[in-house]
């Protein structure tokens, strides 16, 4: 089995796909064969946009997987842009299908990146939240968080949730151009709490190494 790393976030539109792509490139530069899967994508009317972007980069990073189709990267899609529970009308999670795609890909990779949908408590079906899927897949996690006002609360809530589930994880801060106040209004607390501030754009090699060693 390859190293399984689940990329989650404090909410939607935080930068999971962006971070996943940077990790794919970083592990490839480290000489590791990389794989990627986004088990569930919602809001798919014509094409799975995240899945297509991940597939395109995957073929560049790992030629052993050049023959894959988008259905191999995103096995489950729904048209409604909502939580899978709502988008699927509470269809039970097809874990067997996800595991089938994962096991097939793991034959050709050293590191498998698994991108979640939304945050940790996004409901997949009536019995499964996204955080449950991390544990079902026996993965370590990367929590991608934002750098705007409110990131302390959002980050700590998800951090505590992962701890309560016993899921080994690292935290990455996806700071954007407008987050100029982060160093003054939020970062001092993370330093006080001994939470290492690793930023997606400047510390991706450090993030990749930390995850691989979890």
Residues assigned a catalytic role: 38
d(CA 55, CA 70): 6
Residue 107 near residue 113 (C-beta atoms within 8 A): no
Residue 199 has what DSSP assignment?
B
First to last CA, the chain: 15
Q: Please, what is the Cα angle at 171 between 165 and 172, to 5 degrees?
A: 150
d(CA 46, CA 199): 33
Which has the closest alpha carbon to 73: 44, 98, 107, 42?
98
Where helices occur in the chain by DSSP H, the ranges are 16-29, 49-61, 70-73, 84-87, 95-106, 130-136, 151-164, 182-185, 187-192, 204-212
Tokens standing for residue 90: 């509470």
* 41 DSSP β-pair partners: 77
Residue 126 near residue 156 (C-beta atoms within 8 A): no
């Amino acid at each position: 089995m390859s190293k399984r790393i689940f990329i989650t976030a404090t909410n939607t539109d935080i930068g999971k796909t962006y971070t996943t792509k940077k990790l794919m490139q970083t592990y490839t530069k480290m000489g590791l064969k990389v794989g990627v899967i986004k088990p569930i994508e919602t809001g798919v009317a014509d094409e799975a946009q995240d899945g297509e972007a991940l597939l395109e980069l995957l073929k560049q990073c790992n030629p052993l997987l050049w023959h894959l189709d988008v259905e191999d990267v995103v096995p489950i899609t729904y048209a409604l842009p909502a939580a899978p529970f709502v988008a699927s009308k509470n269809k039970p999670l097809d874990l067997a299908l996800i595991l089938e795609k994962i096991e097939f890909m793991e034959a050709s990779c050293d590191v498998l990146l698994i991108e979640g949908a939304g945050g940790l408590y996004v409901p997949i079906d009536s019995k499964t939240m996204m955080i449950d899927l991390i544990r079902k897949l026996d993965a370590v996690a990367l929590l991608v968080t934002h750098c705007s006002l409110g990131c302390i609360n959002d980050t700590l809530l998800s951090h505590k949730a992962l701890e309560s589930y016993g899921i080994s994880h690292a935290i990455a801060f996806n700071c954007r151009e407008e987050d100029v106040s982060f160093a003054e209004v939020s970062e001092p607390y993370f330093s006080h709490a001994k939470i290492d501030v690793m930023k997606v754009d400047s510390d991706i090699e450090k993030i990749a190494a930390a995850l691989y060693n979890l």
